[in-house]
Structure 1
Amino acid sequence: MTGVDHAAQTARLEAAVPLRISDCLDVCDQANVIVVQPSATGRAAGGRPVWLGLVNDPEATEDIITWVRSGGPGVAPLPEILGLYAFTPPGRTANP
């Protein structure tokens, strides 16, 4: 997306949480897309990956970092503000 400092967003996330970069997740209309994977504890508690789209401002990035540091999927509830970014990608079923 034009006007978004992708390098700064990536650097901020890399400095704060475990991160894996992918070139394409086939949902370009939702860019920037961040998929938050549950930790081992979160998976054991039933946590599933959460897809967040249109993450194009620093405040949203900080909200994601705060949530991941609080435990993320399966451990900490999805903050209401991040619910505005959550979506189900094509070909997948919604999180229960």
Structure 2
Amino acid sequence: MTPFDGPAGAGAAVGVDLAKLRATVTVCRGCCCGTARKHPEVDHDEQLRRLTAAVGDIGQIRVVKGCLGQCERSNVMVVTPSTLGRLFGGRPIWLGRILDQELLTAVAEWINSAGPGLAPMPDVLRRVVFAPLGPIEPTATD
């Protein structure tokens, strides 16, 4: 059960913008994240399909086709709390080296549990958290 379970349209019936209740996963697919050049052993398209399917309507997936400037830690994902999650102290969490199914599943489970500020980070993700270096200005998004 998630915080989003309930009668269909319940949020809309009371004037709640359900998009504000969804955490976001930003997936870098720029210069080296998501490319076979750097990680030929990873099926990046399949990884994105699995994440999108696992998150469903609970969260949002944002694909950055530019570069987030954290190439030494590719594949990079940023888990951003929902508006409600921010009210409870959640902040964007940068994750690096998301290259296997265990880590991808943990990201999806965290989003399905409401994400930063509302649900604890899965322990397996703690080893891949990092603080970004330099200004972050993606050049293009999907």
Give the TM-score of the pair, scaled to structure 2: 0.61
Q: Show structure 1 runs of 5+ residues with no match.
A: none
Select 1:25's aligned residue among 55, 68, 76. Answer: 68
Select 1:15's aligned residue among 53, 57, 72. Answer: 53
Amino acid at match of 1:83: R
| 1:91 shift after superposition | 3.5
The 2-side partners of 1:51 and 1:4 are apart by 20
In the alignment, structure 1 residue 55 sits paired with structure 2 residue 94: no
The 2-side partners of 1:5 and 1:36 are apart by 21
Q: Show structure 2 runs of 5+ residues with no match.
A: 1-38, 136-142
Which is greater in Rg? 2
Which runs of 4 or more aligned residues in structure 1 lie more than 3 Å from their structure 2 counterparts after TM superposition? none
Flag the structure with higher helix content. Answer: 1
Matches within 5 A, 1:1-96: 1-17=39-55, 18-23=60-65, 24-91=67-134
The 2-side partners of 1:14 and 1:64 are apart by 11
Give the TM-score of the pair, scaled to structure 1: 0.89
DSSP-derived class of the 2:94 partner: strand
The 1-side partners of 2:115 and 2:64 are apart by 20
- Taking only aligned residues, the RMSD between alpha carbons, in angstroms, comes to 1.3
